[in-house]
Amino acid sequence: MFQVRTTSAARRVANCSARFTVIKSASRGFATVSNISPTRTHRVVVIGGGAAGLDISHKLLRSGKFSQDDIAVIDPAIWHHYQPGWTLVGGGLKTKEELRRPLNSLVDPKFKFYNDSVAGFSPKDNSITLGNGDKVSYEQLVVVPGISINYGSVKGLSEALADPKSHVSSIYNYDTCDKTFDTIQRLHKGTAIFTQPAGPIKCAGAPQKIMWLALDHWKRAGLYDPSNPSSSAVQISFMTGMPVMFGVAKYNAALEQLRKERGVEGYFQHDLISIDGNKATFVLPNEKEPVIKQFDLLHVVPKMGPHTFVKNSALANEAGYVDVDDGTTRHKKYPNVWSAGDASSLPTSKTAAAITSQSPVLVHNLLQSLEGKTPEAIYDGYASCPLLTEYGKVLLAEFKYGGEPKETFGDWFGIDQAIPRRSFYYLKKNFFPWVYYNHMVKGTWGGPKGWTN
């Protein structure tokens, strides 16, 4: 998962439209000066300094096959964020500041770091064009810039998010993830709606993670009684553009049962399209009339998709993602181009955990390619979602292609990971953020396989 990066809070301005400018730029903190080397040719160019970009570039460096500036990393961001932690921020468990680092502090000095954007690709002549117009050439190209969040997919969302007095928030943005907990704390009576859009998003479990934490908060505050939800001060609805709670059958069954047991009203295939005051409008497939719901709290997950510079390039498939083989992560047309993470066409969940299994495959195959050998490593579609179901418990979903469970602790200890557990909660809250910054971004974490050299 290529993490969202933002500018600092000091750059926010007071008026609504300017504040939304900050929100729209949350996925990139653009630098005004590019550090361009006189020699702009590299053996490997990695586009993206997020989870995938840092993990892959450092794994390549640790192979011992590259010298100073052989590997280049390109990214315009100033900050690197541990975005999976924003759910914890939204639930009041962490501060957003503790989950970010200056990007340049995470880039190994042996890399050539271009703190600039990408304007375009020229795969036929093995080069890319930077935002400032300069060209960078490569032998091998790794395209891992993640995906962008489309706030314009919901009319009125930008204004609602930027208004500190509104009860609309989103954990998918650095500037608003802490607003989420503020709105949860301020709600003492009324209707709370949590949304999820149709289509691919980063961490498909996150939209309901924050709902479960909010439910538990209101339960502890005496505002919600799962055994008698209709008589509770707070009413809770999950309105999703998807047909189910979760895309993997085993975990969907567990979460659907949880939804019913806790009295959460479920609206499926309801896609949010606009916000007007305290009214949210949803559309349904094959239905002419929209559904309008009043709310006192609204948590929104906007639609997401590939960055324009990827979508409009020769590297993209029809959906706009980098068109790579599902197993080798190699581009289907250009053999010296690779992709993983959110920007890739790999048909699995877009999570940081998925990257831990994709990166070793990509790195191994790229190194094989440099030696003139045929890529042989195969990615099996592994992804994971540590799904918070309340304060103190997590359902740890792990699966591979085809929605088949691939449970680490189930294999080791024979336990059912569809049952929320306290031990998994501490993995999510404490271990994963620690191992991310201490090992994953340095290329020494292999997910279920543990530490690597």
CATH class of the domain whose range is 40-147+306-379+431-447: alpha beta
Report the run of H or E that residue 257 belongs to, with start and end.
Answer: helix 249-261
The mean pLDDT value for 20-47 works out to 55
- Whether the per-residue pLDDT at 24 is higher than 60: the answer is no
The mean pLDDT value for 56-61 works out to 98
Clarify whether 16 is annotated catalytic: no
Clarify whether 203 is annotated catalytic: yes
pLDDT in tens, 319-340: 999 999 999 999 999 999 999 9
Residue type, 119: A
- Give the pLDDT of residue 9: 36
- Whether the per-residue pLDDT at 69 is higher than 90: the answer is yes
CB 74 within 8 A of CB 47: yes
- Whether the per-residue pLDDT at 10 is higher than 90: the answer is no
- Whether the per-residue pLDDT at 6 is higher than 80: the answer is no
pLDDT in tens, 164-183: 999 999 999 999 999 999 99
pTM over 0.85: yes
**What's the topology of domain 157-303?**
FAD/NAD(P)-binding domain (3.50.50)
Residue 102 pairs in a beta bridge with 79
- Give the pLDDT of residue 28: 39
CB 350 within 8 A of CB 201: yes
Residues 6+ apart with CB under 8 A from 109: none
Q: Is 34 helix (H, G, I), strand (E, B) or coil?
A: coil
The mean pLDDT value for 211-222 works out to 98
Q: What percent of the chain has pLDDT over 90?
A: 89
- Whether the per-residue pLDDT at 37 is higher than 70: the answer is no
Given pLDDT bands bounded at 50, 70 and 90, which one contains residue 139?
very high
- Give the pLDDT of residue 34: 43
Query: Looking at the chain, which residues constitute the CATH 3.50.50.60 domain(s)?
Result: 40-147+306-379+431-447, 157-303
Given pLDDT bands bounded at 50, 70 and 90, which one contains residue 413?
confident
- Whether the per-residue pLDDT at 225 is higher than 50: the answer is yes
- Whether the per-residue pLDDT at 5 is higher than 50: the answer is no
106 exposure class (CB count in 10 Å sphere: 0-12, 13-18, 19+): middle
Residue 218 backbone dihedrals phi, psi, to 5 degrees: -70, -30
- Give the pLDDT of residue 393: 98
- Of the residues 23, 74, 149, 203, only one is catalytic, namely 203
Given pLDDT bands bounded at 50, 70 and 90, which one contains residue 452?
confident
- Of the residues 78, 184, 242, 385, only one is catalytic, namely 385
The mean pLDDT value for 213-222 works out to 98
- Give the pLDDT of residue 412: 86
CB 82 within 8 A of CB 99: yes
Alpha-carbon span 49 to 27, nearest angstrom? 12
Alpha-carbon span 160 to 178, nearest angstrom? 15
CB 257 within 8 A of CB 249: no
| Separation in Å, CA 136 to CA 74, 344, 362 | 10, 21, 21
The mean pLDDT value for 155-168 works out to 97
pLDDT in tens, 353-368: 999 999 999 999 999 9
The mean pLDDT value for 379-386 works out to 98
Given pLDDT bands bounded at 50, 70 and 90, which one contains residue 453?
confident
Residues 6+ apart with CB under 8 A from 139: 42, 43, 44, 126, 336, 370
